[in-house]
Amino acid sequence: MIKAILVFNNHGKPRMSKFYQFYPEDLQQQIIRETFHLVSKRDDNVCNFLEGGTLIGGSDYKLIYRHYATLYFVFCVDSSESELGILDLIQVFVETLDKCFENVCELDLIFHVDKVHYILGELVMGGMVLETNMTEIMTRIEEQNKLEKSEVTFQKAALGRMGAGISAAPARAVSAVKDMNIPQKFKDMKLPDLPNFKLS
């Protein structure tokens, strides 16, 4: 089972984190720091998996990672997961991000965090791998994009109809007041006779 998925840059700044087990916020930050220190000090020519840090489960868990340009993609998994299978999953995740953002970079992860989490949700749910076929994943993402575009179109149309009603409201109000003929109404108004009071 996947315990956490972490993405951070070469300086240890987290760019995305997803924990599939509850940890308090401060412990999550400590796990990210510890994981960065474990992964970043390794040479590029060594294998891409190592024993988990003390905070994430120690020797019962493994850190499987890939380093792309300025980003580390790290999956914290238990012993039931295949190291090579998770390396392939990281590759699928990165290639999917690359297709969605057309040459993904660190800024895409920062400014489109909702879309990144949606893509990740198509691959992994609740710590279990759902889908590894990139064609299927891209189909789901394209369906989501179509749905979002149709919602935006609907909202614009609704605002346009509402805007036309609102912009016409002042003109209707002025014509209604003119039709009332208010000065004549004041002249026609009958006031009751008030008693005469004498002041002494």
Give the pLDDT confidence score for residue 125 in this predicted structure: 93
Q: How far apart are CA 172 and CA 69, in angstroms?
A: 62
Give the pLDDT confidence score for residue 172 in this predicted structure: 63
Per the structure, how many domains does the chain have? 1
Q: How far apart are CA 157 and CA 151, in angstroms?
A: 10
Asked whether residue 177 is domain-assigned, the answer is no
Structural domain boundaries, residue 51: 2-138
| Three-state secondary structure string covering 24-54 | CHHHHHHHHHHHHHHHHCCCCCCCCEEECCC
Least confident of 97-106, 135-144, 152-161: 152-161
Q: How far apart are CA 100 and CA 116, in angstroms?
A: 9
Q: Report the CATH number at residue 77.
A: 3.30.450.60
* pTM recorded for the entire structure: 0.72
Q: What are phi and psi of 196, to 5 degrees?
A: -85, 130
Asked whether residue 185 is domain-assigned, the answer is no
C-alpha closest to that of 62 among 46, 39, 40, 41: 39
Give the pLDDT confidence score for residue 53 in this predicted structure: 72
Asked whether residue 18 is domain-assigned, the answer is yes
Asked whether residue 153 is domain-assigned, the answer is no
Asked whether residue 168 is domain-assigned, the answer is no
Asked whether residue 167 is domain-assigned, the answer is no
Which is more confidently placed, 176 or 3?
A: 3
Residue with tokens 């605002």, as numbered in its chain: 159
Asked whether residue 183 is domain-assigned, the answer is no
> Per residue in 59-89, pLDDT tens?
778 999 999 888 999 999 998 888 999 999 9
